[in-house]
Amino acid sequence: MIPVVIIGGGASGLMLASFLPSKSAIVIESNPKVAAKLLVSGGGRCNVTNEVVSSTNYLGDKDFISNVISQFDQNALLSWCEARGLSLISQKNHQYFCPNSAKEIVSILSKECSKQTVLLNEKVLDINHSHDGFVVQTNKQKIKTMSVVIASGGLSYPILGVSDIGYKLAQNVGHGISKLSPALVGFTLQKEQFFMKELSGSSVGNVEIKVGTKSCRGDLLFAHKGISGPSVLNASLYWEKGSISIDFLPDFRWKSLSGSKKNISTLLPLPKRVIKSLLENLNIPDKTFDGLTKDERDRLFGLQNYSFAPAGTFGYGKAEVTKGGIVTREIDPLTMMSKFEDNLYFIGEVLDVTGELGGYNLQWAFSSAFVCAKALRSKIK
């Protein structure tokens, strides 16, 4: 009997298989190839991790997250890559990327996993108890195993092959699932903000979006469906419904406009097309700052606090991650094992841990895989 069956050959499943002793695991992947998401991640260059990682970068139980990440943190991950000849490159916002392509990390993971059996084009349908472990039922066969690890990911980007099997199997043994929703995703707009759609293709370099008590800084992109870009994706993580507020001009000092003979659209540090449209929609004439009435100035200052309620999000089709998941207080952070079912483990995005944009979700996938591997290794003779 094979000691471990891993459901899912994505980031967490492959990392786990690489940490386990040779020939001790079968990885079952429904796609024709492993790591489909990793290959498209980070715009094709895979944002593997971040120089600064802490539980504040995640939604979920902070103690649980810290506990898991501290056992295999960003420095351990960087060293792991380095030891295999992959020097990750630190870029904007301390994000670490593959130097050329996500294929670099996928090829390392694939090589590391060549010591295990990897079944492709095979879908797990169910798991059942047997007298000495589990029987994993796929669309092709039944596989007996001592331990099952669910690494089947979330529901986002269905085009890359996703399933809800992880949530179903968890529920079958009594686990709770917190509300699932698409996150790290663009916002759709209500009628009043439709003018932004006409700006499709334009972007603003640095905005600050406030959602509740969270502030998300970064680029904002106007898209034909609504608004997107790093600041919006991060804001979507913290948004449930209701208003957000965009500061289109963070750090800008209005005083610098006084006394100038130039029109405000020329002076404000925003792309011409964007500022013209914002002025028009806020009913502010494009003239000198000194020439504006008090009311017009007040509306202009509103560019630093443009509040509106998004209509919704672009949905799972465009979301980088699934917010919510298997309730983590029912999982042991020292082993990733279910507290309800011995020898059943959960790792990666299927859990109720969701990171911000910046490499945090892959760091989570890899850290949770490491913790699980440590526990399994002590059981495999």
Ligand X SMILES: Cc1cc2nc3c(=O)[nH]c(=O)nc-3n(C[C@H](O)[C@H](O)[C@H](O)COP(=O)(O)OP(=O)(O)OC[C@H]3O[C@@H](n4cnc5c(N)ncnc54)[C@H](O)[C@@H]3O)c2cc1C
List residues near ligand X by CB under 6 A. Answer: 7-13, 28-31, 36-38, 40-42, 46-47, 123-124, 151-153, 156-157, 161-163, 165, 320-321, 348-350, 359-362, 365
Q: Which is nearer to ligand X, 32 or 259 (CB)?
A: 32
Complex with ligand X: residue 165 or 244, whichever CB lies closer: 165
- The rounded distance, in Å, linking the Cα atoms of 165 and 188 is 29
Specify the residue, 57 or 343, whose C-beta has the smaller distance to ligand X. Answer: 57
CB-closest chain residue to ligand X: 10
Q: Which is nearer to ligand X, 158 or 174 (CB)?
A: 158
CB of 339 to ligand X, least distance (A): 20
Nearest-10 crossing angle of helices 11-19, 103-112:
40
Residue 148 or 292 having the CB closest to ligand X: 148
- Please report how close the Cβ of residue 341 comes to ligand X at its closest, in angstroms: 18
Shortest distance in whole angstroms from residue 190 CB to ligand X: 26
Whichever of 70 and 93 has its CB closer to ligand X, that residue is 93
We find the least distance from the C-beta atom of residue 14 to ligand X, in angstroms, to be 8
The CB-of-291 to ligand X minimum distance in angstroms stands at 47
Closer residue to ligand X, CB minimum distance, 78 or 249: 78
Say how many C-beta atoms besides its own lie within 10 A of residue 109's C-beta: 21
Task: Give 47 or 145: the residue with its C-beta nearer to ligand X.
Answer: 47
CB of 343 to ligand X, least distance (A): 19
Q: 337 forms bridges with which residues in the sheet?
A: 345
Question: Which candidate, 29, 165, 164, 52, places its Cα nearest to that of 109?
Answer: 29
**Least gap, CB of 325 to ligand X (angstroms):** 9
| Contact yes or no for 14/37 (Cβ under 8 A) | no
Least CB distance to ligand X at residue 336 (A): 12
Which residue's CB is nearer to ligand X, number 56 or number 190?
A: 56
Q: Is 77 left (phi over 0), alpha (psi -120 to 50) or beta?
A: alpha
Task: Compute the least distance from the CB of residue 312 to ligand X, in Å.
Answer: 19
